[in-house]
Copies of this chain bind each other. A is one copy, B any other.
């Protein structure tokens, strides 16, 4: 009991630090964020950070992990209420889009991490851990497509792996573009992110649905 309370307290402080760190990592990137800034933003002393995280890297990866875990939880939640594979696939896309809007900081941190991924040392256990989290999500997509082809909600002629890759790439690409280039797109068009996503989903659902036969 007592340990739990302590752990809980510790966990809360860790979250506090990550909340501060996250914002800076997003804004300025991993390299340009200093421990001094993180300490200042979290209103703690520099040394204190090292009581909760062993290094700057640890702090970064733990933050990324928290974000990925949250995304995974939301996706799982969304899928639970779906009655067939097609709906699951659509739900995953919608959840991802909503995540990027409602948990903007988490989303941007994941993005920062993924685009930098190759620059981190692959053998680092933290890197591997985050890698696996991404894989879990992709596997969920593959199994949903399979389920859909089996229950007849997704066109049987589609290649499971191919379409999964394409779909995941499309959705992540789209969300990233909209997120990174929000200001640019605002300049080019009056559309807000939601409208662009809706349009994409509308166009893509038709491509995917079993009623049409490609």
Residues of A bordering B, CB below 8 Å: 27-29, 31-32, 111, 114-119, 131, 134-135, 138, 159, 161-163, 165-166, 168-174, 176-178, 180, 184-185, 188-189, 191, 195-196, 199-200, 203, 206-207, 214
Chain B, Cβ-Cβ closest to A202: B214
Identify which of B117, B161, B200 contacts A166 (C-beta below 8 A): B200
Docked Cα-Cα span, A38 to B177, in Å, equals 31
Q: Which residues of B contact A28 (CB under 8 A)?
A: 119
Q: Which residues of B contact A165 (CB under 8 A)?
A: 177-178, 185, 188-189, 191, 196
Q: Which residues of B contact A119 (CB under 8 A)?
A: 27-29, 32
Identify which of B32, B116, B172, B184 contacts A173 (C-beta below 8 A): B172
Identify which of B189, B191, B206 contacts A214 (C-beta below 8 A): B206
Since A27-B119, A166-B203 are in contact, a sample of 20 more A-B pairs with Cβ atoms closer than 8 Å, ordered by chain A residue number, is A29-B31, A114-B180, A115-B115, A117-B180, A118-B180, A162-B189, A162-B191, A162-B196, A165-B177, A165-B188, A165-B191, A165-B196, A166-B174, A169-B174, A169-B178, A170-B173, A172-B177, A176-B176, A203-B207, A207-B207
